[in-house]
């Protein structure tokens, strides 16, 4: 299993540009989420999905869109990049299963985004 794969690893955008951060997992995890990590702020939840076709907002959703057309993929779209979106972005997935026990997240390796 590759786990959670994020692409690209690094990206520089100009203010106003749009782009999509890709996230794919091959573990058949139902739950997927996007976090941003900023110095002194910890990990903050942007959007999450409990399954294909279902998404919802997290703590800091403004300026981002998501969709979940398949179990495997959960792309994050930046609509019009702003310098405040400079951050490291992590995608995570979580197994649910029939018991609904929480087993925590598996994280991807992250995308380092700089908006100039």
What is the binding site for another protein (CB under 8 A)?
A: 4, 31, 33, 40-43, 45, 48-50, 56, 58-59, 90, 94, 96, 100-110
Q: In the complex, what is the shortest distance from the CB of residue 89 to another protein, in angstroms, rounded to a whole number?
A: 10
Q: Let me know if 72 is exposed, middle or buried by CB neighbors in 10 A (0-12, 13-18, 19+).
A: middle
Q: Which is nearer to another protein, 14 or 39 (CB)?
A: 39
Question: Quick check: 59 and 38 in contact, CB under 8 A?
Answer: no
Nearer to another protein, 50 or 52 (CB): 50
Q: What burial class does residue 50 get, using C-beta atoms within 10 Å of its C-beta: 0-12 exposed, 13-18 middle, 19+ buried? A: middle
Provide the minimum distance between the beta carbon of 67 and another protein in the complex, in angstroms, as a whole number.
Answer: 16
Minimum CB–partner distance for residue 11 and another protein (Å): 15
């Amino acid at each position: 299993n590759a786990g959670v794969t994020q692409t690209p690893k690094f990206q520089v955008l100009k203010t106003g540009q749009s782009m999509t951060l890709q996230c794919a997992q091959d573990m058949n995890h139902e739950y997927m989420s996007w976090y941003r990590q900023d110095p002194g702020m910890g990990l903050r939840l942007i959007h999450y999905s409990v399954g294909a076709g279902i998404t919802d907002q997290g703590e800091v959703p403004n300026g981002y869109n998501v969709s979940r057309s398949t179990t495997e993929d959960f792309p994050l779209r930046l609509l019009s990049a702003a310098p405040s979106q400079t951050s490291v972005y992590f995608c995570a997935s979580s197994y649910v299963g029939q018991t609904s026990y929480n087993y925590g997240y598996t994280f991807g390796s992250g995308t380092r985004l700089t908006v100039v």
